[in-house]
Chains A and B, each alone.
Chain A
Amino acid sequence: MIATALYIAVGTVGLAQVLAMVRLLRGPHVGDRILALDTMVINAIALIILAGMSLGTQMYFESAMIIAMLGFVSTVALCRFVLRGDITE
């Protein structure tokens, strides 16, 4: 049962990733593109968690943590750059 649910979940989250990528390509404003990138990072975290579950290892949670941190910092840095033209000021 868990294996079937895992397959369905991987397919659904992959579809969500594709939809976010469509918004990334289409997004009329730069804010929409940043938001789509943020969503893609979150979906990537979800995919990595699912991979860790299906492979049965604990190793993937460190990478999920690192991707969460990098996604947060990169989103904030992008927003700062768009807003002020300078990240560190």
Chain B
Amino acid sequence: MTLPLYAEIAVSVLLLIGASFTLAGSLGLLKLSDAMSRLHAPTLSATLGVGSLLLASMVYSFATGMPSLHEMLVMAFLFVTAPITANFIAKVHLHRCRDVEDLPQPPADKIWATRSDT
């Protein structure tokens, strides 16, 4: 089956954009020096990378005459859950991988819930 040229170009460009952002996210995860800066690199691959790949898949399904919007579900789920997992991993970094004196001060009369020794 031959697709129209604009569909081929759109799908190919979206595929290449998604793949390069995914690679950039993993490269940042490997190369960045600090734990907290490593945390922000894979969000690239979670949002832009997989988002572009899903968009490419959606455009492809519309161009081949079998339209489907299932990909939208995966995209929405990833977009909703990525900040939550990032928050949890940041909490692990803060509370398990740092010394007590490096932590920011909690509000007055409060303690860090996971650091009862502060």
Main secondary structure of the interface of A (DSSP, over half): helix
User: How far does the Cβ of B95 sit from chain A's closest Cβ, in whole Å?
Assistant: 6
Residue contact B30 to A65, C-beta cutoff 8 Å? no
Q: List B contacts of A15 (CB < 8 A).
A: 23, 26
Tell me which of B11, B39, B71, B74 contacts A35 (CB under 8 A).
B39
Task: List residues 18-60 of chain B with CB under 8 A from any CB of chain A.
Answer: 18-20, 22-23, 25-27, 29-30, 35, 38-39, 42, 45-46, 49-50, 53-54, 56-57, 60
Interchain CB contact under 8 A, B74 and A6 = no
Q: Note all chain A residues with C-beta closer than 8 A to B91.
A: 79, 83
Most B CB atoms within 10 A — which of A23, A31, A65?
A: A31
Query: Across the interface, do A35 and B45 meet the contact criterion of CB distance under 8 Å?
Result: no
- 5 cross-chain pairs, A with B, having the tightest CB-CB distances, nearest first: A16-B26, A79-B88, A5-B12, A9-B19, A12-B19
Is B78 positioned at the interface, with any CB of A under 8 Å from its CB?
A: yes
Interface size class of B (residues with CB under 8 A): 35 or more
**Chain A residue total in the interface (Cβ 8 A):** 50
- Complexed CA–CA distance, A52 and B53 (Å): 11
Inter-chain CA distance A31–B93, complex, in Å, is 6
Knowing A2-B8, A9-B18, A39-B42, say if A49 contacts B71 (CB, 8 Å): yes
Contact check, B25 vs A8: say whether CB atoms are below 8 A apart: no
Known: A35-B39, A58-B66, A83-B96. 13 other contacts (CB 8 A): A2-B15, A8-B16, A12-B19, A12-B20, A19-B26, A20-B42, A31-B96, A36-B29, A46-B19, A53-B56, A61-B68, A61-B70, A72-B77
Query: Which of B39, B42, B49, B88 interacts with A76 by CB under 8 Å?
Result: B88
Interface residues of A in 68-89 (CB under 8 A from B): 68-69, 72, 75-76, 79-80, 82-84
